[in-house]
Amino acid sequence: MTIKIKSTDEIAKMRVAGRLAAQVLEMIAPHIKPGVTTEELNRICHDYIVNVQQAIPAPLNYKGFPKSICTSVNEVVCHGIPSPSQKLKNSDIVNVDVTVIKDGYHGDTSKMFFVGKPANTQKDRDSLKLIRITQECMYRGIQQAKPGNTLNDIARAIESHANANKFSVVHEYCGHGIGNEFHEDPQVLHYVSPENNIEIKAGMVFTIEPMINAGNRHIKLKKDNWTVVTKDGQLSAQWEHTILITTNGAEILTMREEESNIV
Ligand code: MF3
Ligand code: CO
Ligand code: CO
């Protein structure tokens, strides 16, 4: 395993790529409403990335992935494929995952959206709680991302907060180093494991992207060989940021305007 420490020049490029990825999520937000298809969301993001940002949507043709973003609705854990036959409806929850390449470097980020206006029902309250706790898991992980800690400190923060809320952490997919490649070393697991005892160092850039299930952690792969769903059919949520390790903490390269009061 080789974890690349980014140069000053690479860091400057990753700041740009990260900002562009964040701006795609800001741009798409008002389009997430009942009746829109995930294919329409894909097209709007694709056109914005290519024509406005003059960047490249990294998922398109990545290992054969057919679209420019991932849209993961309800029980879909990750890697949902946008489709013209999938209309969003009231009370759905959807993750939009955007990765752009600019000047050879990647920025990777995702967030959850609740579709329409939440009703005062147990179901909608449960969905909102899953979304909120998953975002808190990501932030708690980011807070542990600093020199001197290990990747297990990040994992522990995520896993303990999920479990304290009776949710479960997906094991099969993880965060990752990122740079001039989409997925680099190290793997950033979201659960504590002996193989995760890797020291965090300044100049590393990686993602933290916990997938948290309302039910048990188990998953299955659909026949399209991409879409990952919960085995028990219950909801799953995910949030993702790309972060740079600094001398005393982490800089979130994919931060959105709306987060400036949270972080
Ligand atoms: N953006 C995803 C990640 O966070 C990867 C998507 S790969 C794709 O790592 F091929 F499905 F796009
Ligand atoms: Co990622
Ligand atoms: Co991503």
3-state SS, one letter per residue, for the chain? CCCCCCCHHHHHHHHHHHHHHHHHHHHHHHHCCCCCEHHHHHHHHHHHHHHHCCCEECCCCHHHCCCCCEEEECCEEECCCCCCCCECCCCCEEEEEEEEEECCEEEEEEEEEECCCCCCCHHHHHHHHHHHHHHHHHHHHHHCCCCCCEHHHHHHHHHHHHHHCCCEECCCCCEEECCCCCCEEEEECCCCCHHHCCECCCCCEEEECCEEECCCCCEEECCCCCCEEECCCCCEEECEEEEEECCCCEEECCCCHHHCCCC
Q: Ligand 1 atom 3: the closest Cα is on which residue?
A: 108
Q: Give the rounded percent of residues in the chain with a pLDDT score beyond 90.
A: 98
Q: Ligand 1 atom 2: the closest Cα is on which residue?
A: 97
CATH code, domain carrying 113: 3.90.230.10
| Residue 86 placed within a domain | yes
Say what the pLDDT of residue 263 is. 64
| Residue 84 placed within a domain | yes
| Residue 53 placed within a domain | yes
Is the alpha carbon torsion for 97, 140, 146, 2 positive or negative?
A: negative
User: Which tokens go with 113?
Assistant: 């959206």
Is the alpha carbon torsion for 43, 46, 51, 53 positive or negative?
A: positive
What is the tally of structural domains in the chain?
Answer: 1
- In tens, the pLDDT along 172-190 reads 999 999 999 999 999 999 9
| Residue 26 placed within a domain | yes
Distance from Cα 176 to the centre of ligand 2, integer Å: 6
Tell me, using a 6 A CB cutoff, whether residue 184 lines ligand 1. Answer: no
Distance from Cα 120 to the centre of ligand 3, integer Å: 31
Neighbours of 172 (CB within 10 A): 13
Say what the pLDDT of residue 146 is. 98
The model's pTM is 0.98
Rounded CA gap, 223 and 78, in Å? 14
Say what the pLDDT of residue 260 is. 84
Neighbours of 52 (CB within 10 A): 12
Distance from Cα 68 to the centre of ligand 1, integer Å: 10
Tell me, using a 6 A CB cutoff, whether residue 59 lines ligand 1. Answer: yes
- In tens, the pLDDT along 20-62 reads 999 999 999 999 999 999 999 999 999 999 999 999 999 999 9
Tell me, using a 6 A CB cutoff, whether residue 159 lines ligand 1. Answer: no
Q: Ligand 1 atom 8: the closest Cα is on which residue?
A: 59
| Residue 262 placed within a domain | no
Say what the pLDDT of residue 108 is. 99
Q: Ligand 1 atom 11: the closest Cα is on which residue?
A: 79
User: Which tokens go with 165?
Assistant: 């809320």
Say what the pLDDT of residue 261 is. 78
| Residue 71 placed within a domain | yes
Q: Characterize 39-49 residue by residue with b for buried, 16 or more Cβ atoms within 10 angstroms of its Cβ, and e for exposed.
A: bbbbbbbbebb
Structural domain including 120 reads 8-256
Low-confidence ranges of the chain (pLDDT < 70): 262-263
Tell me, using a 6 A CB cutoff, whether residue 209 lines ligand 1. Answer: yes
Tell me, using a 6 A CB cutoff, whether residue 97 lines ligand 1. Answer: yes
| Residue 168 placed within a domain | yes
| Residue 263 placed within a domain | no
